């Protein structure tokens, strides 16, 4: 059960090394940016609607796509036998409810691991996601 909050320097570079280490250990990495994510549960695990930009005289359309994390879990390659690691960038814009859902996703399905970049520090700091979100056991 892996659910981590990462605090790293704003100049970057450290995340790439850690994602490469996770990938080399047998996980499929799913990079997601939290800005513009919308409903986290629907985007990651359920079928959700997507409306492309309306440009002029074209009709307004809506497409339905399956959840990104469940699709990645079904498509994972032969070298990724451990599961899917969902790496969320700019996680400081996520609410406590969304962070609570991410922790419950990991506890419900052991194939998912979640790493959320929650802020900036002078050096790389790892904390449990439940500690950062202020979640107590059994409160969700």
Q: What pLDDT does 87 receive?
A: 92
Q: Structural domain boundaries of the chain?
A: 3-41+67-133
Q: Which residues contact 18 (CB under 8 A, 6 or more apart)?
A: 6, 115, 124
End-to-end CA distance of the chain: 17
CA distances to 22, 43, 73, 117 from 65, rounded to whole Å, are 27, 9, 15, 26
- pLDDT for 88 equals 92
Strand, helix or coil for residue 59: coil
pTM over 0.85: no
Provide the pLDDT for residue 56.
78
Closest CA to 8 of 137, 119, 136: 119
The per-residue pLDDT for 116 is 92
Name which CATH class applies to 3-41+67-133: alpha beta
Averaged pLDDT in 10-residue chunks for the chain of 140 residues: 82 83 89 88 87 78 86 71 88 89 87 89 86 65
The helix (run of H) or strand (run of E) holding residue 115 is strand 112-120
DSSP letter (8 states) at residue 51: -
- Helix or strand holding residue 104 (H, E): helix 96-108
DSSP tag of 93:
G
């Amino acid at each position: 059960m892996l659910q981590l909050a990462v605090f790293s320097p704003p100049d970057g570079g450290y995340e790439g090394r850690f994602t490469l280490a996770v990938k080399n250990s047998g996980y499929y990495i799913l990079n997601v940016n939290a800005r513009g994510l919308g409903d986290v549960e629907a985007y990651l695990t359920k079928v959700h609607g997507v409306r492309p930009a309306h440009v002029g005289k074209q009709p307004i359309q809506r497409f339905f796509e399956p959840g990104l994390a469940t699709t990645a879990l079904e498509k994972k390659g032969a070298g990724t036998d451990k599961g899917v690691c969902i790496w969320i960038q700019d996680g400081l814009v996520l609410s406590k409810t969304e962070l609570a859902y991410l922790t419950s996703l990991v506890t419900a399905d052991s194939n998912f691991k979640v790493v959320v970049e929650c802020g900036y520090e002078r050096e790389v700091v790892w904390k449990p996601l439940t500690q950062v979100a202020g979640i107590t056991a059994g409160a969700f």
